[in-house]
Chains A and B, each alone.
Chain A
Amino acid sequence: MSKYYLNYLDELESEAIYILREVWAQFENPVILFSGGKDSILVTHLAKKAFYPAKIPFPLMHVDTGHNFPETIQFRDDIIKDLGVQLIVGSVQESIDDGRVAEEKGKNATRNALQITTLLDAIESNKIDCAIGGGRRDEEKARAKERFFSHRDDFGQWDPKNQRPELWNIFNGKHFEGEHFRAFPISNWTEMDVWNYIKRENIAIPSLYFAHEREVVWRQDTWIPNSEFLVLEDHEEVVVKKIRFRTLGDITITGGDESDADTLEKIATEVAGMRNTERGNRSDDKRSESAMEDRKRQGYF
């Protein structure tokens, strides 16, 4: 029997491939922003499909805070080798050393906000006119307003109230010298869609997403991994728990959940039963109700 419609995952895939090809056709010098998290891995996988049988025709760019999970860096290097594409690294440590940004102080200090400067510097110095991200509209309320092709002015800033209308499947990536775009091929995917698709396609993801034993500390209602960057408070205690991470950010701010899900099958089942949003464990988003919007206006991912 032949049916002439796509199921929802195939339609999302086709839409993302279409966006990636539009980016390639409309921009001179695009990159994929690669964090090593599942969303950017997914975008990379879709890019592989979009340009098959050719290689992905543009580089991957990693904004390296220096506060990484070692597993993420290993994964990044492996995927680069496998794809045979160029890797561009923007280093937050260098931005600090160059005096472009100052390290936050205090117990809850993170390098999250510092990434903005490093990202924009890397975009400028590499003459990138479109940075492809794995942002999804279901992640956060400010992201719900993002366009597929999202304009950034010559300061790298987003003006959410003055966005270009996007109709049908016609995308307008025209821009002046010094401006750039962000493109979001998986805008319409939810966390559940991502997992269902990763499972279906059997896409390799870092081991951190699977339940594993790890040294952790209970802080701000979540299990923060022990690392060389963690400064313990007096009352805090390092314990070993079986956890997995639902999203991956800096090792200093990414909380894990206790879990036994050690296969893609089990993860998908677990995610389906989740009663909290995935960014709920990211302290960068907990700072205020408009934390994401404020950062995004300045040029964040």
Chain B
Amino acid sequence: MLDNNQLLRFTTAGSVDDGKSTLIGRLLYDSKSIFEDQLEAITNTSKKKGHEGVDLALFTDGLKDEREQGITIDVAYRYFTTPKRKFIIADTPGHIQYTRNMVTGASTANAAIILVDARHGVIEQTKRHSFIASLLQIPHIIVCINKMDLVDYAEDAYNKVINQFEEFSSKLLVQDIRFIPISALNGDNVVNRSETMSWYQGAPLLHTLETMHISSDINKVDARFPVQTVIRPQSETHRDYRGYAGRVASGIFRVGDEVTVMPSGFTSKIKTIDTLDKTLDQAYAPMSISMTLEDDIDISRGDMIVRSNNKPESAQDIEVMLCWLNNSPAKPRAKYSIRHTSNEQKAMIKEVVYKINVDSLDRNTEDKDLKMNDISKVKIRTTKPLMIDSYRENRTTGSIILVDDTTNETVAAGMIV
């Protein structure tokens, strides 16, 4: 395997029975990522259930309840590697009551596969899934038109879906959308090129995933370094060492760069960038490093080191697209803990501007409740400033979660507008 092989994270979305699990099973099976004992186990289960042949979908349905009910109720992660890339799949369920799981799976994804049943074309759920993918700013969307075998592999059916899709997707902010006609069941255009759809000139799904350009998915311009913890060995060899440990959120830091520590505003220069293996001249996202500065400044977890000529906004009033994740609805004017990078403050939802109907994309300004799976634009006030970028510019410094202090649960996820 080559040293510069990258990691690509993708999520799959589709409504129940569109063939998500079958597709993932097919990807793994045809790329030879399923082990024999796993295959044996699902072959046995398939037989017990009276399926003819092996039901590849069984491979991804992990938990007991899911195996019993035959549906995917949580996010399950799957892994496979080809000679070109390592892949992480977040398999998320499609029902509206699982919007929150899809949001979760989408939050770290480079790409989303949206499945459409060729017989049914674009339905409400397709719109919802596409909307969530665009809201979460997944850089690449691949619409797989599945079950082509049930529409005689006809090019017409494929084109119809593309037209339907493009009609509404112009409203979404997605840079890269591709369409692939597949049969997950039979394997057409999943790993291997379909022999029955010679009219399709594009690449099969796996090849698309292996070759799509993802290096520029991370913001390379705005240098942001949220401090996770301070390293002070106080040992013989490192008596005065004071390293700021964290993961570069975006951009590039170089030794000698003039930096500002936020929110204090103190400035200094980067003295060293350290890792166990070597000291570095530069660090870029998403590297985990420890940096030291020329000057002794009081810096702790929650602070952000940025390049002095390019700072995030320091704000206490923020507008957020909020997805409610919890069973209990939001309490009006209640206080929550807000987490943003390594920073934590208290926050209050001051106003619900509108709620989005995730199927029609209409805005509702009357209904102000925030219930599980709702996606709304809200105004939040925090007790102390957060150092923010808009989510569209920066998925790391543009995202927040809310934690309910009475239950400690993560109740909402937000994207800063």
Whether A165 contacts B410 in the complex (CB less than 8 A), given A12-B7, A275-B35, A277-B38, comes out as: yes
B217, chain A: closest CB distance, angstroms? 9
Whether A18 contacts B395 in the complex (CB less than 8 A), given A165-B104, A187-B77, comes out as: no
Whether A21 contacts B246 in the complex (CB less than 8 A), given A53-B274, A170-B399, A170-B401, comes out as: yes
A164, chain B: closest CB distance, angstroms? 5
Q: Mark B97-130, 1 if CB is under 8 A from A, else 0.
A: 0001101100110000000000000000000000
**Complex Cα spacing A112 to B35, Å:** 25
Number of residues from A at the complex interface, CB < 8 A: 61
Asked if B85 is at the interface of the complex by the 8 Å CB criterion, the answer is: yes
| A-binding segment of B161-169, B191-199, B231-239 | B231-239
Closest to A11 in B: B7
B38, chain A: closest CB distance, angstroms? 6
Asked if B376 is at the interface of the complex by the 8 Å CB criterion, the answer is: no
Asked if A206 is at the interface of the complex by the 8 Å CB criterion, the answer is: no
Asked if A105 is at the interface of the complex by the 8 Å CB criterion, the answer is: no
B82, chain A: closest CB distance, angstroms? 11
Closest to B282 in A: A2
B7 and A163: CB pair below 8 A? no
B280, chain A: closest CB distance, angstroms? 12
**Complex Cα spacing A290 to B277, Å:** 41
Asked if A51 is at the interface of the complex by the 8 Å CB criterion, the answer is: yes
B41 to chain A: which residues have CB within 8 Å? 289
Which listed residue (A8, A196, A280) contacts B37, Cβ 8 A? Answer: A280
A209, chain B: closest CB distance, angstroms? 19
Whether A169 contacts B396 in the complex (CB less than 8 A), given A8-B86, A14-B286, A144-B62, comes out as: yes
Asked if A192 is at the interface of the complex by the 8 Å CB criterion, the answer is: yes
A1, chain B: closest CB distance, angstroms? 11
| A-binding segment of B68-76, B144-152, B174-182 | B68-76
- Other than A54-B235, A161-B73, A293-B63, give 15 A-B pairs with Cβ distance below 8 A: A18-B247, A18-B288, A21-B228, A21-B229, A25-B301, A49-B275, A53-B237, A54-B233, A137-B79, A163-B74, A164-B410, A165-B103, A168-B107, A172-B409, A172-B410
A contact set with B: CB distance below 8 Å = 2-8, 10-15, 17-18, 21-22, 24-25, 48-55, 137-138, 141-142, 144-145, 160-161, 163-170, 172, 174-176, 187-188, 190, 192-193, 196, 274-277, 280, 289-290, 293
